[in-house]
Chains A and B, each alone.
Chain A
Amino acid sequence: MIRGGAPMTLSRRQFLKLGAVAAASPALAPVPSVAQGAAPRVVVVGGGFAGASCARALRQSHPRFAVTLVEPNPTFTACPFSNVVIAGLRELSAQQFTYDRIAADGIVLARTTATAVDAQARTVALADGARLPYDRLVLAPGIDIRWGALPGYDEPAASEMPHAWRAGEQTLLLRRQLEAMDDGGLVVIAAPANPFRCPPGPYERASLIAHYLKTKKPRSKLIVLDAKDAFSKQRLFQQAWAELYPGLLEWVPLSKGGNVTSVEPATRTLVTDFGRHQPKVANVIPPQKAGRIADVAGVADRSGWCPIDPVTFESKLQPRIHVIGDAAIAGAMPKSAFAANSQAKTCAAAVARLLTGATPSTPKLINTCYSLVAPDYGISVAGVYQPTPAGQLADVPGAGGVSPSEAPRAVRAAEAVLADAWFRTITTEVFG
């Protein structure tokens, strides 16, 4: 539907008229919502960790389903481990994956951008002019930058002060800027307020840039200007920083003037309430929102993110449209690739049940995020999640948490090895 009016909700009678009998109301299930004999059509928009996982899970469990994956990029460039690329310890090619295996599964690839959704007619419009009809639509567009939300940080500013929060050219630009800097230079990272993609990401990046400076440019300094007073795995990070990077890495929280209020790209200046910083390298991690198509489809709320049902990941604003990955408001689950993959499989199972007239079962989801504080020093956070009666995704009490704060270096080294293994495992499942 076109955005602007009130969220579209059809009356029960209209629904029956449309033949959309199942899923409109739990009282009407279970009746298959697809004409007898016709293969159910699922369109997935976005071939990242969430979308590609979902398309594959659907097609593998239900080879009869017609699954189309809409994604304009011929290769996917993964963000996890891109901080290692920035630190000069890994090549960007190690982050890149093609869609060949996904196509070989029998998933139809539409190599273009989805530009509009008509929730009433149940079609997705593509940039190449085609229209794809669907029985169920899955939106997995990841994030967009909120250009201008941080005054001065518009699209051209990103070529002076890279965000490197979507991997690819931005990742390489930040790396080149660090490589070009003389020893003794100042690097500043600006970290945003919650919520944003990969809560521990800015601090892993700070750690690995500090590692680069310590080994290559030891007279340099790194300051993290933070819009928050607390962050993910904070105690573990700060403990490791004190041990590995004393005097090199300084974290400035909100309460000490860390909030960046504007930037001036021409001079690479970051302005806070307490003063001005003019570093040699400025990495601005800006405020974010769900990828644009979510807004166009009418599934994003005023926060810019997408409220969902935690059992099915169906939008709370539009029927038959599911939202997974970073774009979704997934309660206690962080915006991570692991979570995106876990949500994708849950959503695929629910979509399959809805399309075959069955009732979706209550899921349990997991997240595990590793961060590298140094190449051989890993820490992790894990969580188990379940829907609450109030319709939220909440932590299962008593489960999850971070790595122990007191642990021998062998444990940290083991977690670094496991981090690497996780990346290989998940990228093989999603793209391999």
Chain B
Amino acid sequence: MGRVLAAAIGLASIAAAAVAWAQPPAGAAACTGCHPASTRAQSPVVRLAGLDRAAIVRAMREFRAGTRTGTVMDRIAKGFTDEEIQAIAAWYAAQR
């Protein structure tokens, strides 16, 4: 029983690592409400997938600081820490 459980836990942590990799960081999934995930949606709002990581970070910081004008992003960026912004930027930069 103990060995079975230990084996199960071992498998589970491998699975957990895979899931952690496959899943977007906090906040990232919500972006595609406005920033199209699909190239099929016609929108003036920029698609984030594949954008330069540093460019996303810069834009978010400027929106947050109020030095870049936006319609809603100035209000939304204020809800994210530097760490969260870095993680979201890395996540989208790695997509195609």
> Which residues of chain A have a CB within 8 Å of any CB of chain B?
30-32, 36, 57, 61-62, 338, 341-342, 345-346, 349, 352-353, 356-359, 361-366, 368, 380, 382-384, 396, 398-401, 403, 411, 414-415, 417-418, 421-422, 424-426, 428-429, 432
Residues of the B chain whose Cβ atoms lie less than 8 Å from the Cβ of A428: 36, 38, 40-41
Q: Is the CB of A429 within 8 A of B41?
A: yes
Q: Is the CB of A368 within 8 A of B29?
A: no
Residues of the B chain whose Cβ atoms lie less than 8 Å from the Cβ of A432: 38, 40-41
Contact of A422 among B8, B9, B20, B34 (CB under 8 A): B34
Distance between Cα atoms of A356 and B12 in the complex (Å): 7
Distance between Cα atoms of A364 and B24 in the complex (Å): 11
Distance between Cα atoms of A359 and B12 in the complex (Å): 10
Most buried by B among A341, A356, A359, A426: A356
Q: Is the CB of B23 within 8 A of A352?
A: yes
Distance between Cα atoms of A255 and B85 in the complex (Å): 45
Q: Given A364-B80, A422-B33, A401 and B75 touching (CB < 8 A)?
A: yes
**Chain B proximity of A138: nearest CB distance (Å):** 16
**Chain B proximity of A147: nearest CB distance (Å):** 32
Q: Does B58 contact A (CB under 8 A)?
A: no
Given contacts A342-B33, A364-B30, 10 further A-B contacts (CB under 8 A): A31-B12, A342-B30, A357-B16, A362-B26, A363-B27, A368-B34, A398-B78, A398-B79, A399-B79, A429-B38
Counting from the closest, the 8 A-B pairs by CB-CB distance are A384-B79, A399-B79, A357-B12, A358-B16, A366-B30, A364-B27, A345-B29, A428-B41
Q: Is the CB of A421 within 8 A of B45?
A: yes
Distance between Cα atoms of A366 and B43 in the complex (Å): 19
Q: Does B67 contact A (CB under 8 A)?
A: no
Q: Is the CB of A356 within 8 A of B16?
A: yes
- What is the number of residues of chain B that contact chain A, defined by CB distance less than 8 Å? 41
Q: Is the CB of B76 within 8 A of A341?
A: no
Q: Is the CB of B44 within 8 A of A400?
A: no
Q: Is the CB of A384 within 8 A of B12?
A: no
Contact of A32 among B8, B20, B40, B44 (CB under 8 A): B8
Kindly report which residue of chain A lies nearest to residue B41, judged by CB atoms: A428
List 18 A-B pairs, Cβ < 8 Å.
A30-B13, A30-B16, A31-B9, A342-B30, A356-B19, A357-B8, A357-B16, A358-B15, A361-B26, A366-B30, A366-B76, A380-B71, A384-B27, A399-B75, A399-B78, A411-B71, A424-B43, A432-B41
Q: Is the CB of A345 within 8 A of B30?
A: yes
Q: Does B37 contact A (CB under 8 A)?
A: yes
Q: Does B84 contact A (CB under 8 A)?
A: yes
Q: Does B42 contact A (CB under 8 A)?
A: yes
Residues of the A chain whose Cβ atoms lie less than 8 Å from the Cβ of B44: 417-418, 421
Residues of the B chain whose Cβ atoms lie less than 8 Å from the Cβ of A366: 27, 30-31, 33, 76, 79
Q: Does B54 contact A (CB under 8 A)?
A: no
Contact of A349 among B5, B18, B24, B33 (CB under 8 A): B24
Residues of the B chain whose Cβ atoms lie less than 8 Å from the Cβ of A403: 71
**Chain A proximity of B82: nearest CB distance (Å):** 14
Distance between Cα atoms of A311 and B77 in the complex (Å): 21
Q: Is the CB of A342 within 8 A of B19?
A: no
Write out, one digit per residue, whether chain B residues 56-88 have a CB within 8 A of any chain A CB (1) or not (0): 000000000000000110011111100010000
Residues of the A chain whose Cβ atoms lie less than 8 Å from the Cβ of B41: 424-425, 428-429, 432
Q: Is the CB of A384 within 8 A of B15?
A: no
Q: Is the CB of A349 within 8 A of B76?
A: no
Distance between Cα atoms of A342 and B26 in the complex (Å): 11
Kindly report which residue of chain A lies nearest to residue B69, judged by CB atoms: A411
Q: Is the CB of A349 within 8 A of B29?
A: yes
